[in-house]
């Protein structure tokens, strides 16, 4: 029978408990006990670990604290990233005698998962997003690895070696396909003025091919190129790889292009997919700046499906910490899938596992579960301008990283990316190969 580990610290704080939860509960699926009573810790005969400046016996395990988990402020921190035991590390400490590491492993995990750096002032992109190039992970070349999770596993493994009675469970590999339905149709069911404007645009551009395709679609000669849901469902017939769809129900705008939420065909699509699969809300570009718009769109989802949305992913991945997540919680959202960068694939929070959001401003762990995604179609093709072959190689490398570490390989694709027209056409094969690779050796979700 596995024995829970006793952890001694000179202090107790929400930050410390969050870091311990991430390591032991989220990553190791095991229990721990925290004490600030040095005498009771010394009397413990079972598995134990000290997070303290106090010296302990050489055969025990100690993590040196750097002070970050005792603080209650948010301040600029200078990055000092060095390789340690084969992995990037930071928050190095001066007093490391009898310590298992030369750095504060718990602070590293907390820093990455709390998204501490995103609370600090600094450049934002045209959509108000924290850019990947501002992150320590991109600047120090570890965005491609789930670093917080890797260090958590390192600590768990060291503890298991030191204490045979201590057991933990490595995360299993899972594949989670997700889809943002920004535009369910390319041509059909749009208002007359939108159709007229699109036709005029094609005429002025001299795009006869687009004009003919539009005419063929509207006359029901061919299927709308964006309406690829039958293909998606066919590719994911196995219940173990059930797709998750996020629906855009916002009003029309510069960055919000879906047809009206009132249209019976869109409502039928949302209802049908919601009855067969897990679904969620895709808050519009406008909703990211206005909680009243978010609430309006949540009510639309509820009116169409019969239940409030509990899952979401921000359109254009627009989020601002902590406001966006606070507003999602207020709207009843309990699972969010926005944690990833638009311009770079990888592990924004250093995790390939769902984990709870820590509200750094309020200094508390919340009920909102964050589901990081690893790679997005638009990232590979548009932002990084990779060829289909290069994009596949990049995605499969990340998939193998998750397979080795354990956790969820979560993909973000769009129904429109499976269109048989234009530059997206060869990317269907890329996604099919990703599915095939994820399914090998029985490694489904």
Span 212-251, pLDDT tens digits: 888 888 889 989 999 999 999 999 998 878 999 999 999 9
Q: Look over the chain and give the mean of its residue pLDDT values, rounded to a whole number.
A: 94
Angstrom CA distances, 49 to 37, 53, 60, 425, stand at 13, 12, 7, 54
**What torsion, rounded to 10 degrees, do the Cα atoms 310, 326, 373, 144 define?**
-160
Token digits of residue 358: 């820590």
pTM for the whole thing? 0.95
Centre a 10 Å sphere on the Cβ of residue 397 and count the other Cβ atoms it contains.
12
Q: What distance lies between CA 63 and its chain's CA centroid?
A: 28
In the chain, % of residues over pLDDT 90: 84
Q: Show the tokens assigned to 109.
A: 């995990």
Residue 123 DSSP label = -
Q: What is the pLDDT of residue 194?
A: 80
pLDDT in tens, 350-362: 999 999 999 999 9
Mean per-residue pLDDT for 125-145? Answer: 98
Residues 6 or more apart in contact with residue 33 via CB below 8 angstroms: 4, 5, 6, 7
For residue 343, pLDDT beyond 50: yes
Per-residue model confidence as pLDDT tens digits over 95-119: 777 788 999 999 999 999 999 999 9
324 Cβ contact partners less than 8 Å away, ≥ 6 residues apart: 288, 314, 318, 338
Strand 87-89 and strand 82-84: the pairing is antiparallel
Res 445: pLDDT: 38
Distance CA 138, CA 154 (A): 22
The rounded distance, in Å, linking the Cα atoms of 111 and 152 is: 13
29-81: pLDDT as tens digits: 999 999 999 999 989 989 999 999 887 766 679 999 999 999 999 999 999 99
Instruction: Summarize pLDDT for 269-311 with one digit per residue, the tens.
Output: 999 999 999 999 999 999 999 999 999 999 999 999 999 999 9
- pLDDT-derived band of residue 443, with 50, 70 and 90 as boundaries? very low
H-type alpha helices, 306-376: 323-330
Domains parsed from the chain with CATH numbers: 5-162 (no CATH), 173-186+224-442 (3.20.20.370)
Q: What is the pLDDT of residue 441?
A: 65
**What percent of the chain shows pLDDT beyond 70?**
98
Highest mean pLDDT among 2-6, 52-56, 207-211, 380-384: 380-384
Backbone angles phi, psi at 370, to 5 degrees: -100, 130
């Amino acid at each position: 029978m596995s024995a829970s580990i006793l952890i001694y610290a000179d202090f107790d704080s929400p930050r410390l408990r969050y870091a311990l939860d991430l390591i032991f509960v989220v990553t190791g699926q095991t229990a721990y006990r925290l004490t600030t009573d040095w005498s009771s810790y010394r009397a413990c005969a079972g598995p134990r670990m000290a997070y303290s400046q106090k010296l302990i016996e050489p055969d025990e395990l100690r993590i040196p604290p750097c002070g970050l988990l005792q603080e209650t402020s948010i301040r600029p921190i200078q990055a000092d990233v060095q390789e340690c035991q084969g992995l990037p590390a930071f928050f190095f400490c001066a007093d490391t005698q009898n310590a298992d590491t030369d750095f504060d492993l718990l602070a590293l995990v907390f820093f990455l998962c709390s998204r501490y750096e995103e609370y600090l002032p600094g450049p934002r992109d045209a959509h108000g997003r924290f850019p990947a190039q501002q992150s320590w992970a991109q600047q120090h070349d570890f965005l491609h690895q789930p670093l917080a999770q890797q260090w958590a596993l390192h600590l768990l493994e060291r503890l298991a070696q030191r204490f045979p009675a201590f057991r933990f469970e490595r995360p299993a590999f899972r594949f989670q396909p997700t889809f943002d339905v920004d535009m369910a149709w390319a041509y059909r069911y749009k208002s007359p003025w939108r159709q007229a404007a699109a036709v005029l645009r094609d005429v002025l551009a001299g795009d006869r091919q687009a004009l003919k395709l539009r005419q063929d679609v509207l006359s029901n000669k061919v299927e709308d190129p964006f309406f690829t849901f039958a293909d998606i469902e066919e590719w994911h017939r196995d219940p173990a790889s059930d797709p998750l769809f996020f629906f855009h129900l916002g009003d029309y705008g510069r960055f919000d292009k879906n047809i009206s939420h009132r249209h019976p065909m869109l409502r039928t699509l949302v209802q049908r997919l919601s009855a067969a699969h897990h679904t969620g809300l895709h808050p519009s570009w406008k909703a990211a700046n206005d909680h009243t718009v978010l609430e309006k769109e949540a009510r639309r989802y509820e009116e169409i499906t019969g239940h409030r949305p509990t899952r979401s992913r921000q359109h254009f991945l627009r989020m601002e910490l902590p406001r966006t997540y606070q507003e999602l919680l207020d709207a009843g959202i309990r699972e969010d899938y926005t944690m990833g960068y638009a311009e770079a694939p990888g592990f924004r929070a250093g995790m390939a596992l769902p984990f709870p959001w820590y509200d750094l401003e309020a200094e508390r762990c919340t009920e909102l579960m964050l589901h990081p995604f690893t790679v997005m179609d638009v990232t590979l093709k548009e932002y990084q301008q990779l060829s289909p072959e290069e994009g596949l190689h990049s995605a499969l490398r990340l998939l193998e990283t998750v397979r080795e570490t354990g956790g969820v390989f979560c993909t973000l694709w769009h129904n429109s990316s499976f269109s048989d027209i234009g530059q997206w056409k060869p990317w269907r094969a890329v996604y099919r190969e990703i599915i095939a690779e994820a399914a090998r050796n029985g490694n489904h979700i």
